[in-house]
Amino acid sequence: MDLIEDLRATLGAAQVHDRAIDRHARAHDASHYLLVPQVAATAEDAEAVARALGVAARHATPVTFRSGGTSLSGQASGSGLLLDTRRGFRGIEVLDDGARVRVQPGATVRAVNARLAPFRRALGPDPASEAACTVGGVIANNSSGMAAGTEHNSYRTLESLTVVLASGTVVDTAAPDAADRLREQEPDLVQTLERLRDEVRADPVTVAEIRERFALKNTMGYSLDTFCDFTDPLDLLVHLLVGSEGTLGFVAEAVFRTVPVEPHAATGLLVLDSVERAAAALPALVATGAAALELMDATSLRVARRDPGAPPAVQGFAIDQHAALLIEYRAGTQEALDERVAAAAEVLATLPAVVPPDLTRVPADRAALWAVRKGLYATVAGARPPGTTALLEDVVVPVERLADTCRELGELLATHGYVDPVIFGHAKDGNLHFMVTEDVGDPADPASTRRLAEFTEDLVELVLRHGGNLKAEHGTGRAMAPFIERQYSSGLVAVLREVKRAFDPAGILNPGVVLTDDPRAHLTDLKPVDRVDEEVDRCVECGYCEPVCPSRDLTLTPRQRIVVRRARARAAAEGDEALVAELDEQYRYDGVDTCAADGMCATACPVRIDTGALVKRLRREDRGRAGQRAWRTAARHWDAATTVAGTALDVVSRLPAPVVQAPNRAARAVAGADAVPLWSPDLPRGGHRRSGHDGGRGTAGVPAAVFLPSCQGAMFAAAASDDGGAHDGGAQASFARLCVEAGVGLAVPDGLDGLCCGTPWSSKGYADGHAVMSDRVLTAVDAARTAAREQAGTDVPVVVDASSCTEGVARIMADAREAGDPRAADVVDATSFVVTHVLPRLRIDDARRIESIALHPTCSSTKAGGAGDLHTLARAVARTVHVPVDWACCGFAGDRGMLHPELTASATAAEAAEVGRLGALVHASSNRACEIAMTRATGRTYRHVLEVVAQVAL
């Protein structure tokens, strides 16, 4: 039995992923290394991990544990078995009113902190990648971050672990009999740990070396300070696993002691004329008690300024050699914060600031400043020259040596010819990150690799000469493994190697990471970056997009869609036609058909890449003339198309389900799942013509807006209300009735029933049909606006009553505006319009307010910044408003949820489970398709929030 057969027999065939697309998609992480695994597998629990390790041992196959893939030093990539431990390990349990939290390794730091937020607690580690990095990676790398320093990292805040050792032994260190069981099951390991502990402590010189190294942030090698800090073998086990980068065992669960969140904070940006000047100011600033001091050099500021949403603090001055320090003060009370800020002001006034910091307490302004810093690596890397790789290094020196180190590092970068290097980092801890770009993945250009080798040698000498550590928080990885012997004495290197042998005698856990015998290991397996698609070429493979992707647990994430395209391009360049053909065949479903193309990836991407735009283009290129012609015709006769669709749903809703399902499935088998929607009994009956409902001819009074109701209401009937009846017209009628009650007039375009937001065409790739519909919408809306303007004496916006359709109409108008078309108009979602123009005029009887409501914000409203208005409406009519922590795009994406219902089922699973626990009485959203998706997922009836408001207020 070979490896793959053994894995299938042991884990189950569904958990083994040996297709080319699986291996290449999972191979890439955020680092500049690339090793394509022989096979990937998914483990759902600790026992499955243990069984997988047994298979790997039988076949002498190396194993790499893979979770968030945000690591930058190559520790999440391996050539043997890549064990995906993210999908099955996402459990979070808050303990002791937030004082502790039990977490599984696949949960992101952001997800954990969201559950701790009501208790005003948080995890101690606070890495910049908190939205995407997982707890498993944070433990494996002993990540710290902005304010954690060495006091609140994983090493200091972990209470217990459940770990799977290389032998397959599962150890829960919190179990009452854990110590006895560990001695019984792993006697050699325990004896070695106790011996090493005693030998280290017996040598004062060794202890002094360890204390000196770990007085600073230090993730080079293993946590050797464990032998000085702890005595019990269980404590030794736990703390050696921290920072071990998957080379000593797998952490299946962890219990952390959390840290209090100081709710009051003031944040500002101090701009000085150089990095050296900023570094020189640090000792005085550290003495003020600043919770965070984040350094950003001139290149960082230039890149940050390119973002249209960049805060004013990074603008308004000419950037030369400037540097900035992002400063934050925190306190438990407003009075305490006032005192800290006042004391700091005296110090800040003495500094030679180019721009003094405006310490703001406004949450939105503070968030904007932090967004600049947290997205800095990916943003800067995204601005790199096309086809090059971003290499980020992470070092630390004593704070008093930081100014000299910065100056010499700048000189060193210039000496080696690196253009526009970027320097930033956690200055309070003397922790510097700096990034250069190289074309190191091209074997035809050895000069780049040679330059990297020479620079790295000089860097190592520079950092060690200043009493620093070669890695502070990103882990040793492959990048610094060859230099372990340069940082530590031979005695400590021997201890490191004994630790590895004790935990992993066969050497199967992540070989080449942390320890290596190859002095050039840091120069091998470097990642090529091929230019493939203009829409996504800036991608740095950071993985920030993955947690928000609807298909992340079904097929591919945005990062994986991009890297598979790169793998295909590389295969084509190398003449591997078989691999190209295999990837093309598998990409159709995994990469194209199951992409919701919702654009949520762009909201999480620091460089705003919308992978959906790539997928839409690929769909467009795949469309034949017949399909383009059919959808162009549909655009010209959309009234008839929606009527047919609604009538069909009406008819089938009256038939026995088997009568409909058999021919429906047969049609999908013949025409393809991406062409024929799958009907199910939970779909609503058909809707009605928009022109025949409330608001279909406008409302009386001077128009305040042009109302363009969504055609979703024409295709799908409104959801049943709490009393079992349906509100005629759904969101359309509710919006109109609310406007009538508030005395707000509405105008409606002529030919309303034939208009659409254009999303069905743009999403499916039918460009000609989209152009036809866009022109129809522009013409009809312009005529209505002209008439309304004559009555109102001023211009009026277009209002749409479904958030995804609001986005579609806004895109039509944006394209028109860019083309100089005078018909372009402003577009507002109906929820936002009601909040601004209607809600202030309504008198809501408190006795009629509902007890609780659960909201599903849509991807469109979130992207447009309208989720807050959804919440405002809910608060107006409900006493308790729930927004699930596990909220995510539902993946219905117009009709994608009917073409591929497995996409919606996967995308909504976590949120649906949480909704079930919330027990809200009413459930609402702001888009009919999303309401259908969430109703299907949860078994609760979701309605448009405007229907709920109308029910309570009218």
Please spell the DSSP secondary structure of 643-654, one letter per residue.
HHHHHHHHHHHT
At 922 the pLDDT is 96
Q: What is the mean pLDDT of the chain?
A: 93
Average pLDDT, stretch 767-778? 96
At 578 the pLDDT is 97
At 729 the pLDDT is 65
Does residue 232 have a pLDDT over 90? yes
Average pLDDT, stretch 243-269? 97
At 801 the pLDDT is 95
Tell which residue, 862, 839, 813, has the closest CA to residue 954.
Answer: 839
Average pLDDT, stretch 924-951? 96
At 733 the pLDDT is 94
**C-alpha distance from residue 125 to each of 66, 89, 255, 798 (Å):** 20, 19, 13, 46
Euclidean distance between CA atoms 803 and 861, whole angstroms: 6
Is pLDDT larger for residue 339 or for residue 377?
339
State the alpha helices, DSSP H only, in 589-695. 600-604, 611-622, 625-636, 638-653, 657-671
Q: Is 199 within 8 Å of 216 (Cβ atoms)?
A: no
At 441 the pLDDT is 60
Q: Is 43 within 8 Å of 88 (Cβ atoms)?
A: yes
Residue 96 binned pLDDT confidence (cut-offs 50, 70, 90): very high
Coil vs helix vs strand at 356: coil
Q: Chain centroid to CA 321: how far?
A: 32
Euclidean distance between CA atoms 837 and 693, whole angstroms: 22
Residue 213 binned pLDDT confidence (cut-offs 50, 70, 90): very high
At 668 the pLDDT is 92
Q: How many CB atoms lie within 10 A of CB 3?
A: 19
At 384 the pLDDT is 78
At 230 the pLDDT is 98
Q: Which of 150-159, 279-288, 833-842, 916-925 has the lowest mean pLDDT?
A: 279-288
Residue 721 binned pLDDT confidence (cut-offs 50, 70, 90): low
Residue 443 binned pLDDT confidence (cut-offs 50, 70, 90): low
Residue 728 binned pLDDT confidence (cut-offs 50, 70, 90): low
Does residue 492 have a pLDDT over 80? yes
What torsion, rounded to 10 degrees, do the Cα atoms 136, 139, 140, 143 define? 120
At 726 the pLDDT is 45
Average pLDDT, stretch 526-545? 91
- pLDDT above 90 coverage of the chain, percent: 81
Which of 32-69 are b and which e, b meaning 16 or more Cβ less than 10 Å from the residue's Cβ?
bbbbbbbbbbbbebbebbbbbbebbbebebbbbbbbbb
Average pLDDT, stretch 95-119? 97
At 722 the pLDDT is 52
Average pLDDT, stretch 584-603? 95
- Mean pLDDT comparison of 96-105, 125-134, 348-357, 859-868, highest-scoring range: 96-105
At 693 the pLDDT is 81
Q: What is the pLDDT of residues 162-191, one digit of tens each?
A: 999 999 999 999 999 999 999 999 999 999
Is pLDDT larger for residue 186 or for residue 357?
186
| Beta pairing, strands 850-855 & 827-829 | unpaired
Does residue 725 have a pLDDT over 50? no
pTM of the model: 0.94
Does residue 313 have a pLDDT over 90? no
Where does residue 262 rank: exposed (0-12), middle (13-18), buried (19+ CB within 10 A)? middle
Q: Which amino acid type is present at position 511?
A: P
Where does residue 790 rank: exposed (0-12), middle (13-18), buried (19+ CB within 10 A)? exposed
Q: What is the pLDDT of residues 448-458, one digit of tens each?
A: 889 999 999 99
At 447 the pLDDT is 85
Q: How many CB atoms lie within 10 A of CB 722?
A: 12
At 697 the pLDDT is 84
| Beta pairing, strands 703-707 & 798-800 | parallel
Q: Is 489 within 8 Å of 483 (Cβ atoms)?
A: no
Does residue 533 have a pLDDT over 70? yes
Q: Which of 376-385, 401-410, 698-707, 864-873 has the lowest mean pLDDT?
A: 376-385
Q: What is the pLDDT of residues 598-615, one digit of tens each?
A: 999 999 998 889 999 999
Q: How many CB atoms lie within 10 A of CB 914?
A: 16
Average pLDDT, stretch 623-650? 92
Coil vs helix vs strand at 941: coil
Average pLDDT, stretch 206-222? 98
Quote the tokens at residue 87: 């999908």
Does residue 444 have a pLDDT over 60? no
Average pLDDT, stretch 29-57? 96
Tokens 């079930």, residue?
Answer: 916
At 724 the pLDDT is 47
